[in-house]
Structure 1
Amino acid sequence: MKKLIVLTTALSSLSLAAQAEEVTLMSWGGAYATSQIEGYNKPYTAETGVTVNMVDADNPATPVKAMVEAKNVTIDIADVEYADAVRMCDEGLLETIDHSALPAAPDGTPAAEDFLPGALTDCGVANIVFSTVFAYDTTKFPTAPTGIADFFDTEKFPGKRGMRKGAKANLEMALMADGVPAAEVYATLDTPEGVDRAFAKLDTIKADTIWWEAGAQPPQLLADGEVAMTTAYNGRIFAAAVNEGKPFQVIWDGQVYEYDMFVIPKGTPNLEAAKKYLAYATGTKPLAEQAKWISYGPARKSSGEFVGLFNDGKTEMAPHMPTAAANLTNALASSYEFWVDHDSELNERFNSWLAAN
């Protein structure tokens, strides 16, 4: 009888431990967070019983850095931009990741060979390829804009503009709008004259610009009529157009595309659980499943064949991906090396420029 009681108690303890296990993911909110909930979190909970909590942030890198430095980490996984993942890793703020622990492709190809080039770093695993594009309200213009130069042409295309409040992507798009070929953007931006040129181009629309900080804001600015055009993450515009029927159109010319990365903050309270979740979420099929909810490309080659229709059952996803051939005609791959080296100085200049009359 005593043995039975001990056994029952032990089993109950294991059951309670399983029920109590959970991980917390900090991400960007809105349609993007929904895609992660549907593509990763719900299937993971169904398969493992582990609860996945979501926390939203305008830019998760900022609170992650603050948490680790304060030694008060309350999340387990974060979704951050590539340059932030590399920089925070260099600063010792993130756990290193064993790439051999990531699942192989369905045909057995090791993860290190299946992820797209550059998608694995010491402290990060890419999940998506996203793009900063510009989009417009099709009801506002009898003649449609066709290229990045039109975004900066308020005479031909009058109306307010929306732009992310920061240097990254804005400076690159400004140079492309000013005639710099995509292949020469970073060489130009790596000179004082190139930086001056980018800010001079931004000067031309500064008085007509509303600045946004969270990814959910640009489609809302368009929907409210506060802007006629805005830069935005391509998936947010897709979600507004397809899910909500908004008259929004993406212009791919001048897009700046990059990876988003999963990282594990140093000092996470649930390190092993975080590693298990990360391995699951960056598997071939979960990455493909996320792409059924938002138009961001999976970071694994093997995911491509599993991406078909949007969750509405009728919209082909491929043409809406940043990596579609037709969308890469005048596209720029964001240089994480450049931004790791220049982020602080260029954002300081951007903030000073923004504050000046």
Structure 2
Amino acid sequence: MIFKKTLMATTALTVAASGAFAQDMADSMTIVSWGGAYQSSQQKAYSEPYVAMHPDVSVTWDESSNEAVAKLRAMNEAGNITWDLVDVVAADAIRLCDEGLAMEYDPEELLAPGDDGSSAEDDFGDLIVSDCYIPQIVYSTTFGYRTDMVPEGVEPPSQICDVFDVEKYPGKRALEKRPINNMEWALLCDGVAKDDVYDVLETAEGQDQALAKLDTIKDDVIWWSAGADTPQLLADGEVFMGSTYNGRLYSVIVEQEQPVAMMWDAQVFDLDGWIIPTGLPEDRLARVKDFVKFATDTTRLADQAKYISYGPARASSAPLVPEDMKQHMPTDPANAGNTFLYNYSFWADYRDDIDAKFQSWLAK
């Protein structure tokens, strides 16, 4: 009888503690991402199954990742952090971490181990490029072009420097309204060796050289800010070629069946992942941690690859990627013959200064 009473008391305490823990978690989250096909893949792979498991939780999506650094700085200044989880590229994560705006974490504490038995730290490996960064996917920025706009008798564009050849390939180009990638491609097509690009770009003369090369096509450029812009411009036939993320081009080519083809040459590899803003109240932080552990496990990262052609950041997720999707991945050997490796540290150090110079050039 004493044992039965003790067992009942222990069970009651366990249930009470469990309920208290659940009550200590916020019942809503605001997650920041990039919109379009990428955000849709996150919703299908991460938030929808999480909410199905936790029907009392609501998730609001904000498509402001392109402005994440500036907005988090402003929120911190105002002492009002309204975002719970933010999707950023690696260089921005490094900046936010350096400025104390992103929370440092222990991978073994926050993240689930791999389904193959590996530790979280080993499973993500070198892709954890910052103490604050939780990688999700490997993607590339590359070019798509309209196959029906290739001039008669001319080979389709296949090299990065074809972007700068407006005589052979006339028509509008879509380029992102920021220096990243554009400056590197400009230097490559102005004769700078791949291994020397960042050494040149850290000098004022190298920056001027890149802008001078971009000047040669400036009148033919439509500048984009959102990842969905170039796919729409290509679908509408408003540009002949344009840069964007490889997953957005996959959507336009495979899902929308538009007359668009990929140009993989000098695709720029990059990472995308989460940061947790510093200064969250404990109930919101507890909810975010619970979500992140779920959303970055082996199965969930592989699930995202069902909806968009980005490589999962976990090694243990790779074998689970559907076979028909692997050929569309930027890391597929057939697509990775000539890649350009993005330098996270360089852009974390030089982004603000080169941004100002680029925007001044744009305004001329």
* TM-score, normalization by structure 1: 0.90
- Of 229, 249, 264, the match for 1:237: 249
Residue 86 (structure 1) aligns with: 94
RMSD value, Cα: 2.1
Residue 198 (structure 2) aligns with: 186
Question: Once the 2 structures are TM-superposed, how far is the Cα of residue 302 of structure 1 from its aligned partner?
Answer: 0.7
Alignment of structure 1 residues 107-256 onto 2, 5 Å:
107-141=116-150, 142=152, 143-256=155-268
Residue 314 (structure 2) aligns with: 300
Are the equivalent residues in 1 in contact too, given 2:65–2:88 (CA < 8 A)? no
Alignment of structure 1 residues 262-341 onto 2, 5 Å:
262-269=274-281, 270-309=284-323, 316-341=324-349
* TM-score, normalization by structure 2: 0.88
Per-residue CA deviation, residues 77-136 of structure 1 (Å, 9 max, x unaligned), is 000111111111111111111211211111211010011413252111110111111111
Does the residue aligned with 2:265 lie in a helix, a strand or coil? strand
Of all paired residues, the percent bearing the same amino acid is 46
How far apart are the structure 2 equivalents of 1:131 and 1:20?
Answer: 35
Per-residue CA deviation, residues 272-300 of structure 1 (Å, 9 max, x unaligned), is 11111112111111011011111111111
Are the equivalent residues in 2 in contact too, given 1:58–1:214 (CA < 8 A)? no
Question: Once the 2 structures are TM-superposed, how far is the Cα of residue 225 of structure 1 from its aligned partner?
Answer: 2.0
Question: Once the 2 structures are TM-superposed, how far is the Cα of residue 196 of structure 1 from its aligned partner?
Answer: 2.2
Are the equivalent residues in 2 in contact too, given 1:137–1:229 (CA < 8 A)? yes
How far apart are the structure 1 equivalents of 2:262 and 2:145?
Answer: 7
Per-residue CA deviation, residues 167-208 of structure 1 (Å, 9 max, x unaligned), is 111101112222333332212222333222211110110011
Per-residue CA deviation, residues 21-59 of structure 1 (Å, 9 max, x unaligned), is 222211000101100001111121223333332111251
Does the residue aligned with 2:335 lie in a helix, a strand or coil? helix
Higher Rg of the two aligned structures: 2
Equivalences, count = 341
AA matched with 2:357: R
Are the equivalent residues in 1 in contact too, given 2:134–2:274 (CA < 8 A)? yes
How far apart are the structure 2 equivalents of 1:116 and 1:327?
Answer: 23
Unaligned runs of 5+ in 2: 1-15
AA matched with 1:294: I
Are the equivalent residues in 2 in contact too, given 1:27–1:78 (CA < 8 A)? yes
How far apart are the structure 2 equivalents of 1:325 and 1:185?
Answer: 24
Does the residue aligned with 1:85 lie in a helix, a strand or coil? helix
Unaligned runs of 5+ in 1: 1-9, 310-315
How far apart are the structure 1 equivalents of 2:228 and 2:266?
Answer: 21
